[in-house]
Structure 1
């Protein structure tokens, strides 16, 4: 076999300086909450690494996850695709089509057996031939491609937990990747769509450390899903003071008060939206005036309405129902605080008049 260039070789050939490379490694280490001093080790590991083959499988999905990836800004989509990985198969982004595309898939599997990454986008229907590619059902394709994979990364809530396709009555009998693949390392990067930095961050750490990041009880990378959105939300002080918008166009909404009463699921939703944000760090749904819908949580579509308060206890798994109870108590406490303030204000006004 001929010499296979390392990532360092590729970067040098494209004029990427050592300084720029170290800046990228530093940003990635910080992004993934890796220990201080990791930057140099990351740079050494990446420079000596061969670009891994990546096979992206698209099943029951809306292409929103791919759209999210193409809006990643650290590392950029160009760096990720053309410098750090070899994206050998992707329905939306590849130039090949038909038989040529399927040959590219088979060649990538054969040439990188046991080493390639599989990125899965979309749920898998168990209803036979509900969704097919090249005459093969999604389930057949998933099992065939994952058989010789090094690891599997679920991109979005559909592949991680079934997402919207698995919502009642689930007409295609959709399931998540993990319901079918049991013998490979799997990490979930949920969201509808997922945060671009969560996707690229997981891949960057895999390239650096040779293993997937630490995960929580739902298989999500702790670096991005270790805190609930509520704790990092800039509206949290309003929540603590009992100041809530009652409608989307009232005075509280205009003042940026908490959206809890309008169905915001931030107290029981775990994601990095509030501090990483979207569109190159510009904003996130709550900042734009709409409550979190909890799209990074399993079964989010069926657990209460979008505008139903989490205090009902319908949204979130068993471990988080206590959070909903606490949130409801805080809501009552906040109302009591406002009532006392109003009473004090009235007393002061009466005293001033007399």
Structure 2
């Protein structure tokens, strides 16, 4: 299989643009600039990695996010960075031809391909709540994972179970790690995950032939190492005790902290605050809506979304200039009155002493 650099040259990409791309990818993977030479070398020498992308119970929002990647473009990812061999949503082929190709890829690249899973398997009724190519997705998942060198759980559906696994969970939907026990799984939660995060995870595996550093829950540390609260541009208002009380109040118009109207930023780990969405254009908090914690486990059952978390202490309201002025004036008036009372008291005492 051709290397990344060979794929770029085939498409007419010059050396300058190739190096610019390598620098972008270095930052996207959360690596330091000193790693840039190693990334260039890997792009020049490593073969593109075959990827199988399968779909269980889900809404396809992960794919929708991915194809809107702007840095790099989704087309560059698919055509130059990885070898997407199977995707029953994006593939031009369909039916038996596509399913036969999936089985051929599994045999041909046994132990060397990446399995990307979007959605989750329902265990109820022997998996009959989700059928792919005439068979339960549960079987589809096990068969596809058997020869993979690593498995990526795209989105909160595959990572945690998401809305399908929310109470009362009639289909007995579960996260994929409840089914796949013998393969390393990288969880990339979010509903959906950020496109550039998805690209960064794939590229790390492809270029370094290893998993990115993971936290205790199996999430890549470079993308899930901080709370949204830690990188939120509204954090200063939280620290100052300036909160939106209602979505139509003056605080909302001034862009104050959304914590009191339910924002889950203080308990949610993701890159929304720094990478944002659609080439850094915006994210829910910037658009005026609090984080609902979509990348956290069981977030559907952690509602209601518009009530604040009582476990997070709210700072005291910071006194603004007007309040300080009023307080000073009040204190001065009180001081003047007190001074007058004391003066009169002293005057009476002095007269009595005479």
User: After TM superposition, is the score higher than 0.5?
Assistant: yes
Aligned length: 333
1:41 to 38, 45, 58: 38
Cα distance in 2 for residues equivalent to 1:338 and 1:269? 29
Range with greater deviation from structure 2 (180-189 or 39-48): 39-48
Which residue does 1:145 correspond to in 2? 144
Judge conservation of contact 1:242–1:338 (CA < 8 Å) in 2. Answer: no
Which residue does 2:289 correspond to in 1? 290
1:335-354 alignment, distance < 5 Å: 335=317, 337-338=318-319, 342=323, 345-348=326-329
Range with greater deviation from structure 2 (15-24 or 293-302): 15-24
Which residue does 1:243 correspond to in 2? 242
1:8 to 2, 5, 9: 5
Which residue does 2:301 correspond to in 1? 302
1:60-139 alignment, distance < 5 Å: 60-127=57-124, 128=126, 129-139=128-138
Cα distance in 2 for residues equivalent to 1:254 and 1:187? 40
Please state how far the C-alpha of 1:339 moved relative to its aligned partner: 9.7
Cα distance in 1 for residues equivalent to 2:173 and 2:68? 28
2:316 to 316, 324, 334: 334
1:144-223 alignment, distance < 5 Å: 144-223=143-222
Judge conservation of contact 2:57–2:122 (CA < 8 Å) in 1. Answer: yes
Structure of larger gyration radius: 2
Range with greater deviation from structure 2 (89-98 or 36-45): 36-45
Judge conservation of contact 1:22–1:39 (CA < 8 Å) in 2. Answer: no
SS at match of 1:273: coil
SS at match of 1:124: coil
Please state how far the C-alpha of 1:8 moved relative to its aligned partner: 2.1
Please state how far the C-alpha of 1:255 moved relative to its aligned partner: 0.3
Judge conservation of contact 2:29–2:203 (CA < 8 Å) in 1. Answer: no
Cα distance in 1 for residues equivalent to 2:160 and 2:249? 36
Cα distance in 1 for residues equivalent to 2:212 and 2:330? 59
Deviation per CA, 1:325-346, whole angstroms, max 9, x where unpaired?
A: xx32xx1x323x4499747524
Cα distance in 2 for residues equivalent to 1:351 and 1:78? 69
1:43-62 alignment, distance < 5 Å: 43-62=40-59
Judge conservation of contact 1:25–1:42 (CA < 8 Å) in 2. Answer: yes
Q: Give the unaligned 5+ runs of structure 2.
A: 337-354
Please state how far the C-alpha of 1:253 moved relative to its aligned partner: 0.3
SS at match of 1:89: strand
SS at match of 1:174: coil
Cα distance in 2 for residues equivalent to 1:345 and 1:60? 59
Cα distance in 2 for residues equivalent to 1:22 and 1:252? 45
Judge conservation of contact 2:285–2:291 (CA < 8 Å) in 1. Answer: yes
Judge conservation of contact 1:164–1:301 (CA < 8 Å) in 2. Answer: yes
SS at match of 2:273: helix
Please state how far the C-alpha of 1:273 moved relative to its aligned partner: 0.3
Judged with a 3 Å threshold, the aligned counterparts in structure 2 of structure 1 residues 348 and 19 are, in CA distance, closer, same or farther, namely same
Q: Give the unaligned 5+ runs of structure 1.
A: 312-323
Judge conservation of contact 2:4–2:47 (CA < 8 Å) in 1. Answer: yes
Judge conservation of contact 1:125–1:173 (CA < 8 Å) in 2. Answer: yes
Cα distance in 2 for residues equivalent to 1:266 and 1:139? 34
Deviation per CA, 1:222-247, whole angstroms, max 9, x where unpaired?
A: 11110000111111111111100100
The TM-score, its normalising length taken from structure 2, stands at 0.90
Which residue does 1:321 correspond to in 2? none
SS at match of 1:37: helix
Please state how far the C-alpha of 1:49 moved relative to its aligned partner: 1.6
SS at match of 1:187: strand
